[in-house]
Amino acid sequence: MKIALASDHGGFELKEDIKKNLLSKGYEILDLGTTNGTDSVDYPNYGRICGEAVMAGIAEKGIVFCGTGIGVSIAANKVKGVRCALCTSVFMAEMASCHNDANVLALGGRTTELETALEIVKTWLNTEFEGGRHQKRVDLLNQMR
């Protein structure tokens, strides 16, 4: 599976740690930046580019990072068809996948410890969408602009 990653400066270090972990597990990674380390950049650009990569089929899923995950999740969700979920717990990651079929995950580099983030990513990637009654709701989300 190919996963697109993108972060601003606040999420850069967590993105790099998650990238290392995913590569070690055999995932293919498309790193969309930032490459500026912790030098200030604008999170909307990174949320958008990751969402566009997922919707274009360049990557199957995406993970976006900023200081809290809030701004970059808002940016990603501006891309039609993206269902980006900001998750701060393993339970939220499970629900994002099984109920919402989230195709992009958002994490906060300043708010989420690495071990928690690793468990969130693992759960999000390994939980399948249930469909059924949730499919109608996902379809409604996909119709929104």
Q: What pLDDT sits at residue 144?
A: 86
Residues annotated as catalytic are: 66, 99
Cα gap 26→17, rounded to integer Å: 15
- Per-residue pLDDT 10s for the chain (145 aa) are 999 999 999 999 999 999 999 999 999 999 999 998 999 999 999 999 999 999 999 999 999 999 999 999 999 999 999 999 999 999 999 999 999 999 999 999 999 999 999 999 999 999 999 999 999 999 999 898 7
The order of strands in the sheet holding 84-86 is: 28-31, 2-7, 61-66, 104-108, 84-86
Q: How many Cβ atoms are within 10 Å of 132's Cβ, its own excluded? A: 8
pTM of the model: 0.97
Task: State the fold for domain 2-143.
Answer: Ribose 5-phosphate Isomerase B; Chain: A, (3.40.1400)
Residue 16 gets which letter from DSSP?
Answer: H
Residue 111 gets which letter from DSSP?
Answer: T
Instruction: Give me the half-sphere count of Cα atoms (radius 13 Å) on the Cβ side of residue 36.
Output: 12
CA-to-CA separations, 58 to 5, 43, 62, 95, 115, in angstroms, rounded: 12, 20, 10, 25, 28
Q: What pLDDT sits at residue 8?
A: 98
